[in-house]
Each structure stands twice: as structure tokens, then as C-alpha cells.
Structure 1
């Protein structure tokens, strides 16, 4: 690698970004580009040999890279240290809507979700195919590039609500959002957490968002029995497409304010 290059935030914002798989990295000095990535960099972004861009592996690493003369690889010039993630990991358990889950994936990625659990509830009508899951993961990758995330969110295979509750039992804090202002507001619950507590080392919070038509009484009882705290997102009735963004925005504001961001 060459001598360290000082980049201002403005210079960083002007560089194009490309997400790569960790397997594309060779000896920590070179990135082997896939054919689709070569086309994207040279034909879509109009980069030429010697041009620089930011490469990210979706696992917390950024590098300043330089496109090779052959356009089939890039040289890593230096690592880039930035902080773009929420101070604590947020898992969203989201009941699958009939349509619009693409937008949920895209927008929650932009807002900082760590894990997205598409969930089949008693009132869920959509039964997604394997192709849908592949599409959602691609959307998450693209949204992570666009929003300058360090990590690409994990999108798990669609699971039942009971299984989602069971798999998140060990998480640090768990909340289930209820309609019509039932329960304490999520913001108030998060505000109760001491300012020196939230960080990714202490654990993850889970927030469950219900389906169109709301949770069944049995599902609410199941969540509460697993120590999910009932919370509200406000007095208005939010659509399944709106509620995940509202919940994540509340969490982001609460935790980033605690650490002064």
C-alpha cells in the first residue's frame, strides 16, 4: 500500500462505492472484480483505469481502492475508518405484507437495521419464494452501498412468528408494537436505558411489527410470555409498510442522542 492518503468527508462523499464479497479480497492488497462489477464501474459509473473508489465488504470494512488498467481488479490503497452504524444492533421482526416488502428492506437498511426477520403470522397472506429472498438480500446490499453502511443487514429466511419469538429470547431488550396507542411509547421505554449502556457489545434489541389487521390475541400473549414488552408507536394506526420505519427511526434517535451523535 502507498503512503496514507488524507481524505476529507467531502472527498469521501464524492467517491463511488462498491460492495464486494470477502472472498474477492486477495492478500489484503487486491480485489478481484466480478464481470458484473467491472461493467458497473466502467460502463455505469464511467470510471477509468487509475480512478479511485470505495470498496466495502459488508462486514465492517471499507477500503480506498484504485481500478487497474485491465479493469478486472483493483488495488487496495488503504483502509478507511468511518462510523456509520447505530450504537446498538436492532433486529426487526416484521410480519410480511401482501406487497411492499422490497421498500421495507430498502428503507430499514438506510435507517440502520442490523437484522431483518420476515415473519409469517396468523394473518399473513404472502408466502414468499426463494427468489424473493434473493431479491431482498440484493436490495439490502444496494441500499447499504447507497447509505454508506459498514454492514449489509442480515435478512433471515422467512419464519413463523412463534419461531421468531423463540429465536430472539436471548436478546437484550424485546418489544412488540401494538396499535391504537396501547402500552407505553417505544421512545419512552428506550429513554429509560442509561446513557452509558447502549452499545453493540451489550446486546441487541428486537422490535416486532405486526401484520395488516394487527396481531392476534394469542400472538400478543406468546410474545408477552417470552418477555416482550408491549409498546406503542403513537396514537395513529400505521400501515405495515410505515411501522418498521417509524420504529427504527425512534430507536436510532434514542440511541444516537444518548452518545451525542
Structure 2
């Protein structure tokens, strides 16, 4: 099944074993992919469940042939990212989805230059859906509404292990800290700053709220690159627990 094309659907589209396809899904399957009646694809709901589906003779329907559920639930894997300038957050969302994050929190820090519109948030949601299909992820990360970093810090703790990546300063490396802290059940949140990094005040406020300041090494990384490097380190350390 893993080599078949994937399509994200909603539960409301399922009527028993019949899948009612939306117009844009019909266009994608029939016109873009040029699938014919009898062709198979994987329908997934983005919440860990998938079906093997077969296109029917009716243009807007497919038959659901079997159900497969994902494995046991994984501990939350959360990215908190100060919005980079331009369209950089598009790449962050796409690659974070491929790596396997469960939640993405866009935040506005003191040095953030971008103030996203509602249309930008909808675009990020579409990118996450597409990335989950392409990388064969059964779940789509939840992209939370943008919020200021101080407001985020006022919320209840997002994870049992929370890390704030800081570009400059004497802090333990993220890998070293993870190897010391992480367990199979640990939820992890990683916070990445904007161009120019977190301010000293933001670092201090985050530390009070339980965020361990960490380093990603001696190189000074772009905000987009730092997000991917940090998430890849976490994913590698978590892999033996999957």
C-alpha cells in the first residue's frame, strides 16, 4: 500500500464503504493523476486511520476496501517557531510535517517581522496536508493560530520536556540534553527564534516557564534551517522509542 497515491479526506465523506469525493479531489485523481475506474489509492483522515480505496465508475465516488489504523499513539512532538520573514515558514511547515511533528505553534517574538493573514494560515494547513500525503504520514500536525511569545508562555506547559534553542551563549547542546532527559513517554517542545534570535528578556522569561536553553552548535543558522536541524535531532533521539 505504501507506493499508492495518498489522499486526505474527512470522515463526513464516508457513507458506509462509499467515499464521496469532493470536486477538487475528483480533478486531482482523474485529471492530474489520470487514474481510471478500478485504480487504487490510499484515503487517510489525517488522524491516524487509512483506507485502501478503489475508484468507481461514477466520477465522484470510490469504494473503501479495507481499514488500517496507525500504531500506538506517539508522545506529542511540538514545534514553536517565531515566524521568519517572507515565505520561509512554508518550508518550516512542510519539513516539520515530514519529520513527524504533532503540533506547530507560530509565534510573534520581539524581533518577528511577519504578521500573517488568515489566508497565510490556511496556506500552511494545505502545505501540511500535502506534506503528510507525500511523506506517508498518517497524521497531519495541528497548526495553531499565531500568538505572541509572551502569550504562549502564559499557557499551561505544552510538554514535559521543553527546549529553547539559542544561537549565542554558553548552553548545553540539544543532543546532549535530550540524551539526558528523554524517555519513551516524554512529550517534547522545541522553540526556535526569528532572524536575530531571541532577546535576553525572552530567554529569561522562557526559562522561568520551564524551557531549558540549548545550543544547536557553533554555526549561526538561519531561522528556517535551525527549525529543521533541531527537529531532526529530536526525531533521531526519539526513534528508538517508536
Q: Pairwise mapping of residues 36-115 of structure 1 onto structure 2 (< 5 A)?
A: 36-81=24-69, 87-99=74-86, 100-115=88-103
Q: Distance in 2 between matches of 1:170 and 1:63?
A: 32
Q: Contact 1:58 / 1:150 at 8 angstroms: preserved in 2?
A: yes
1:30 aligns with 2:18: yes
Structure 1 gaps of 5+ residues are 1-11
The aligned residue for residue 5 of structure 2 is 16
Q: Contact 1:181 / 1:235 at 8 angstroms: preserved in 2?
A: no
**1:87, CA displacement in angstroms?**
4.3
Q: Distance in 2 between matches of 1:149 and 1:163?
A: 31
Q: Contact 1:86 / 1:255 at 8 angstroms: preserved in 2?
A: no
Q: Contact 2:48 / 2:69 at 8 angstroms: preserved in 1?
A: no
1:224 aligns with 2:207: yes
Among candidates 105, 120, 137, match of residue 125 of structure 2:
137
Q: Distance in 1 between matches of 2:3 and 2:158?
A: 41
Q: Distance in 2 between matches of 1:182 and 1:239?
A: 19
The aligned residue for residue 136 of structure 2 is 148
Among candidates 221, 225, 234, match of residue 251 of structure 1:
234
Could you state the TM-score of these two structures normalised by the residue count of structure 1? 0.87
- The C-alpha deviation readout for 1:33-74, integer Å capped at 9, x for no partner, is 000000100111111111111010001101101111112111
Q: 1:165 to 1:240 in 2, by over 3 A?
A: same
Q: 1:170 to 1:48 in 2, by over 3 A?
A: closer
Q: Distance in 2 between matches of 1:245 and 1:23?
A: 34
Among candidates 187, 190, 201, match of residue 204 of structure 1:
187
Could you state the TM-score of these two structures normalised by the residue count of structure 2? 0.94
Q: Distance in 1 between matches of 2:221 and 2:178?
A: 20
**1:163, CA displacement in angstroms?**
1.6
Q: Contact 1:119 / 1:158 at 8 angstroms: preserved in 2?
A: yes
Q: Distance in 2 between matches of 1:234 and 1:193?
A: 19
**1:189, CA displacement in angstroms?**
1.3
**1:80, CA displacement in angstroms?**
2.7
- The C-alpha deviation readout for 1:98-137, integer Å capped at 9, x for no partner, is 1211111111111111111111001111111000000010
Structure 2 gaps of 5+ residues are none
SS at the partner of 1:192?
A: helix
The aligned residue for residue 162 of structure 1 is 150
Q: Contact 2:49 / 2:70 at 8 angstroms: preserved in 1?
A: no
SS at the partner of 2:210?
A: coil
- The C-alpha deviation readout for 1:167-201, integer Å capped at 9, x for no partner, is 3525211110111363111111111236xx324xx
SS at the partner of 1:59?
A: coil
